[in-house]
Amino acid sequence: MTHHKIHEEHRTLDRAELADRLRRVADELDSGSVITYGGDGTTGTLALPDKLHGELEITSAKHDGHIKLVARLHFTEPKSENATRAEALDRTDTDETDADEWEADDPYA
């Protein structure tokens, strides 16, 4: 399976800024199935299915005291009915297990 990085962003935030960003994502999830990402001219949207697999991981490095909190969402990209039909017609020699799977990592962790 080939992975393609859609977006990555690193920046230092204070707790209030992080809460605002997480709240924006939560508000978008509550109001529909599309979230927005990016900024500074590189924005996009990502459609999410109704059900997805979530992980929350907290690790610490004893040698330097850093703590890392990572939130991951795993899901298969939702497709329109027409796109699914067209893909089925094009898929003559492709393995069914090679479906497009996307991972959304919390870039602020």
Residue ranges per structural domain of the chain: 11-48, 49-109
Token pair, residue 76, equals 């298969």
* pTM of the full structure: 0.61
Ranges of residues in the chain whose predicted pLDDT is under 70: 1, 80-109
Strand partners, 53: 74
Cα(23)–Cα(21) distance, integer angstroms:
5
**The pLDDT of residue 80:** 63
Alpha carbon distances (Å) from 10 to 14, 16, 109: 13, 17, 9
